[in-house]
Structure 1
Amino acid sequence: MLHRTCLALIVALGAPAAGAGTVAAAQAISWTPRISQGSATAEAVIKNTDGKTIGSLRIEDEPAGKSTLTITVAGLRAGYHGFHVHAKGVCDPKAIDPVTRSPFSSAGAHFSISPTTHSGHSGDLPNLLVGADGTGEATVVTDRFRVGQLFDADGSSIVVHALPDNHSNIPDRYSHQGPPSGVGPDAETLKAGDSGGRVACGVITRNQ
Structure 2
Amino acid sequence: MRDTRSRVRLAMAGVAAVAVVGGSVAAEAGGGGSGHRHDRDTEVVTLVGVNGERIGWVKMREYHGRVVVSGWAGGLTPGFHGFHIHSVGLCEAGAPNGPFTTAAGHYAGAMPNHGDHAGDMPSLLVTASGDAWASFMTDRFTLDELRDTDGSAVMVHAGPDNFANIPTRYTAAGVPGPDATTLATGDAGARVACGVID
TM bracket, shorter-chain basis: 0.7 to 0.9
Quick one: which of 174, 181, 189 aligns to 1:196?
Answer: 189
Whole-angstrom distance in 1 between the partners of 2:115 and 2:128: 31
2:112 is matched with 116
State whether structure 2 residue 85 is matched by structure 1 residue 95: no
Could you tell me which runs of 5 or more consecutive residues in structure 2 were left unpaired when the two chains were aligned: 10-15, 22-38
Structure 1 segments (4+ residues) deviating >3 Å: 180-184
Q: TM-score, normalised by structure 2?
A: 0.77
Secondary structure of 1:118's match? coil
CA shift, 1:184, in A, is 3.6
2:122 is matched with 126
CA shift, 1:204, in A, is 1.4
Whole-angstrom distance in 1 between the partners of 2:135 and 2:104: 24
CA RMSD of superposed structures (Å)? 2.7
Whole-angstrom distance in 2 between the partners of 1:135 and 1:182: 38
> What code does the residue aligned with 2:175 have?
G
| Cα separation, partners in 2 of 1:200 and 1:181, compared to 1, 3 Å | farther
> What code does the residue aligned with 2:182 have?
T
1:49 is matched with 50
Quick one: which of 131, 147, 150 aligns to 1:151?
Answer: 147
- Kept in 2: contact 1:84–1:159 (CA 8 A): yes
Aligned residues: 171
Whole-angstrom distance in 2 between the partners of 1:55 and 1:109: 21
1:19 is matched with none
- Kept in 1: contact 2:169–2:177 (CA 8 A): no
Deviations 1:66-113 (A, max 9, x none): 11111100000011101100000000011143xxxx421100111122
Whole-angstrom distance in 1 between the partners of 2:62 and 2:20: 14
Q: TM-score, normalised by structure 1?
A: 0.73
| Cα separation, partners in 2 of 1:157 and 1:183, compared to 1, 3 Å | same
Quick one: which of 157, 169, 174 aligns to 1:176?
Answer: 169
